[in-house]
């Protein structure tokens, strides 16, 4: 049964991405900073709540390297730390003294250490304590964060030096055998087949015996040595290469959901979905000859708009994201408006609107601006947006992972884009792989059944939508298959694609929304795309301090958003029925 205790991680594991806010009142209390809620919040969504392990690492760094009156925040590279320093200086009224320290962990010394050890570098930003909110703003908006797993590793390597914490404890043979768990991934096998030498072979009979033992005893503890292969496998999947059962020679599979032109070298892994949007914006700012504003088309997830507002020359916000908005933009472009890029979600979160990507592409070609599409909610199993975008961003934290225990993102460069050569040149010079190796290993395993999970979630969500649409207490349901922008979704929908797992809805009576949410027997907290159904009072959680402002864009303060999971459809429908009754 889903926990209804405030502050419990969802799932209840050390590196969980979501956190329990079980009632409407608890969500309000959290947003207002009420002690009865905040005192129980020991975890949270990683960009908003700095994990306790990372907090501990910061305290250690402050004690060892800090000066009087300073606080610090840790980032996954020196470059990122410098960007944070620049942000703090630009947004501060005075000229604060902000400094950056670079620290590295040691490289593995031998084959055994390569199983559990990797050399890595962090950037530590030290600033006056009263400027912590600004540093935290950069952390939240940019998404260029260190994960809790990376924080745990760095903490141990720099301060506690427990070499056994991150690997399988035991003898040499057991450690070797743990590597073989990785060979179960067709994508990794394909990576090996394309010219890379395999690791040391061990006796096959011993391998079978220990595979079972390691899998059962140690669960998903994986080896750093396989991180590069895991990342290659992830890039193949994101390219749309389909893993066929028992087919290890994936290089020969011609079918690709993205098209034959796209290769894994055009896929860039990021430490979060927001980091992929941030780096898309950052790269366009750097390759553009003139500093021009961008357009945010449609009401987006909150930090996308914050990035466009706070970094660069500004944003034109067309929050309705409908045909009228697009006509307005076209008119202004014809009258001389110049923009650098248009950012949109497909479909949007939380109103599930789909922009007219064909028309947007026509305008982009005609007036010379770039198009960045966030496909997180739709996902590439359901929709094909690449032909209409110069870059495609996605949060892999969501349904691609499903397990709600990894923060990750991807950014794809469209090889057919007129910006491709300039972007590729910039990425070759400036892009850093900030995606922590251990997180890559977890994500590779989590995503192996991505396609099957999407199919199940899509089918169940359609049934939930039918139930909600036919309930007299509910005034409106937001879902791509029933909304006014359905035609635009269908234009980009894959042949066997569905309409996704996210649905939002309103009750006729606001009190009914509160009553339903407090009583429905589901997990309740931030995030979406989880393997379990997850609900939240979206406007309260994401926009509590601007409820009147977001109302003008059609986002009602009583909106409930539900992300459907893998539960038995009939059982899940019964949970909804009981709460509705």
- What is the distance between the alpha carbons of residues 126 and 128, in angstroms, rounded to a whole number? 7
Name the domain count of the chain: 3
Give residue 219's pLDDT.
44
**Does the structure show a pLDDT above 70 at 327?**
yes
Residues 384 and 458 in one domain: no
Q: Quick one: CA dihedral 545, 551, 555, 558, positive or negative?
A: positive
pLDDT digits (tens, 9 = 90+) for 157-190: 999 874 444 433 333 333 333 333 333 443 444 4
> Is 20's pLDDT higher than 90?
yes
At residue 404, the pLDDT reads 96
Torsion of CA 435, 437, 440, 445, to 10 degrees: -170
What pLDDT is recorded for position 1?
Answer: 75
Q: What tens digit of pLDDT does each residue of 212-244 get? A: 333 333 444 568 888 999 999 999 999 986 554
Q: Domain check: are 368 and 330 in the same one? A: yes
**Percentage of residues in the chain having pLDDT higher than 70:** 87
Average pLDDT over residues 517-533: 97
Whether residue 497 sits in one domain with residue 509: yes
Residue 531 lies in a domain: yes
| CATH assignment at residue 328 | 3.40.640.10
Provide φ and ψ at 269, rounded to 5°: -85, 140
* End position of a domain, from candidates 385, 413, 448: 448
| Final residue belonging to a domain, choices 448, 464, 487 | 448
CB contact set of 449 (below 8 Å; sequence gap of 6+): none
| Window from 205-214, 269-278, 381-390, 496-505 with minimum mean pLDDT | 205-214
CB 275 within 8 A of CB 84: no
CATH number at residue 575: 3.90.1150.10
**What dihedral angle (degrees, nearest 10) is formed by the CA atoms of 194, 197, 199, 204?**
70
DSSP 311-324: SSS-EEEETT-SHH
Mean confidence (pLDDT) of the chain: 89
Task: Please report whether residue 239 resides in a domain.
Answer: no
The model's confidence at residue 191, banded by pLDDT at 50, 70 and 90, is very low
Q: What range does the domain containing 117 cover? A: 52-159
Residues 272 and 417 in one domain: yes
- Do 298 and 389 lie in one domain? The reply is yes
Instruction: Produce one character per residue of 286-308: b if its CB has 16 or more CB atoms within 10 Å, e if not.
Output: eebeeebbbbbbbbbbbbbbbbb
Q: How far apart are CA 213 and CA 219, in angstroms?
A: 10
Point out the least confidently predicted range of 43-47, 70-74, 150-154, 374-378: 43-47
pLDDT of residue 200: 41
Assess whether pLDDT exceeds 80 at residue 324. Answer: yes
Q: Comparing C-alpha atoms, which of 147, 109, 118 is closest to residue 223? A: 118
Express each pLDDT in 132-148 by its tens digit. Answer: 999 999 999 999 999 99
pLDDT in tens, 271-306: 999 999 999 999 999 999 888 999 999 999 989 999
- Residues 85, 114 within the same domain: yes
Residue 374: CB partners within 8 Å, gap ≥ 6? Answer: 273, 277, 300, 301, 304, 343, 344, 345, 346, 392, 393, 394, 395
Q: For residue 131, what is the DSSP state?
A: G
Give how far Cα 9 sits from Cα of 27, 50, 470, 483, Å.
15, 13, 34, 34
Which pLDDT score, from 0 to 100, does residue 247 have? Answer: 37
**Given this model, what pLDDT does residue 242 score?**
54
Query: Domain boundary residue among 386, 414, 448?
Result: 448
DSSP letter assigned to residue 561: E
My answer on whether 312 and 454 are in the same domain is no
Q: How confident is the model at residue 258 (pLDDT cuts 50, 70, 90)?
A: confident
**One domain, residues 148 and 85:** yes
Both 290 and 395 in one domain: the answer is yes
Which residues neighbour 515 within 8 Å (Cβ) at sequence distance 6 or greater?
none
């Amino acid at each position: 049964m889903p926990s209804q205790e405030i502050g419990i991680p969802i799932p209840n594991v050390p590196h969980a991405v979501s956190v329990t806010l079980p009632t409407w009142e608890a969500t309000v209390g959290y947003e207002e900073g009420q002690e009865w809620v905040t005192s129980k919040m020991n975890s949270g969504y990683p960009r908003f709540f700095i994990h306790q392990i990372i907090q501990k690492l910061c305290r250690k760094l402050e004690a060892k390297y800090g000066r009087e009156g300073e606080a610090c925040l840790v980032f996954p590279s020196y470059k990122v730390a410098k960007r944070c320093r620049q942000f703090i200086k630009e947004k501060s009224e005075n000229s604060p003294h902000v400094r950056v320290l670079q620290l590295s962990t040691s490289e593995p010394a031998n084959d055994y250490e390569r199983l559990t050890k990797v050399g890595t570098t962090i950037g530590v930003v030290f600033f006056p304590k009263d400027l912590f909110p600004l540093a935290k703003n950069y952390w939240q908006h940019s998404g260029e964060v260190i994960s809790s797993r990376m924080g745990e590793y760095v903490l141990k390597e720099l301060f506690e030096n427990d070499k056994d914490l991150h690997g399988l404890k035991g003898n040499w043979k057991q450690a070797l055998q743990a590597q073989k768990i990785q060979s179960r991934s067709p994508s990794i096998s394909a990576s090996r087949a394309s010219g890379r030498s395999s690791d040391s072979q061990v006796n096959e009979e011993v391998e079978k015996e220990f595979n079972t033992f390691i899998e059962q005893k140690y669960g998903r503890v994986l080896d750093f040595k396989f991180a590069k292969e895991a990342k290659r496998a992830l890039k193949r999947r994101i390219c749309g290469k389909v893993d066929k059962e028992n087919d290890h020679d994936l290089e020969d599979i011609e079918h690709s959901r993205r098209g034959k032109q796209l290769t894994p070298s055009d896929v860039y892994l990021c430490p979060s979905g927001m980091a992929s949007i941030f780096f898309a914006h950052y790269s366009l700012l750097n390759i553009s000859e003139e500093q021009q504003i961008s357009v945010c088309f449609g009401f987006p997830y909150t930090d996308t708009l914050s990035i466009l507002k706070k970094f660069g020359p500004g944003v034109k916000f067309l929050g309705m994201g409908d045909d009228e908005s697009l006509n307005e933009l076209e008119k202004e472009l014809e009258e001389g408006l110049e923009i650098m890029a248009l950012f949109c979600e497909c479909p949007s979160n939380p109103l599930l609107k789909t922009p007219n990507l064909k028309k947007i592409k026509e305008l982009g070609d005609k007036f010379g601006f770039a198009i960045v599409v966030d496909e997180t909610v739709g996902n590439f199993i359901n929709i094909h947006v690449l032909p209409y975008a110069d870059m495609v961003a996605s949060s892999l934290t969501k349904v691609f992972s499903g397990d709600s225990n990894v923060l990750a993102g991807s950014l794809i460069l469209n090889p057919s884009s007129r910006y491709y050569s300039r972007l590729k040149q910039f990425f070759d010079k400036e892009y850093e792989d900030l995606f922590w190796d251990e997180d890559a290993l977890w994500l590779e395993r989590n995503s192996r059944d991505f396609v099957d999970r999407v199919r199940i979630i899509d089918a169940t969500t359609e049934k939930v939508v039918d139930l909600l649409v036919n309930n007299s207490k509910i005034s409106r349901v937001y879902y791509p298959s029933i909304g006014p922008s359905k035609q635009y979704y269908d234009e980009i929908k894959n042949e066997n694609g569905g309409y996704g797992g996210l649905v939002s809805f309103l009750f006729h009576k606001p009190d009914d929304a509160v009553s339903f949410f407090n009583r429905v027997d589901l997990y309740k907290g931030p995030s979406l795309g989880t393997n379990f159904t997850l609900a939240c009072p979206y406007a309260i959680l994401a926009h509590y301090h601007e409820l009147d402002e977001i109302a003008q864009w059609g986002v009602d303060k009583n909106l409930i958003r539900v992300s459907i999971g893998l539960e038995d459809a009939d059982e899940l429908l019964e949970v909804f029925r009981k709460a509705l009754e």
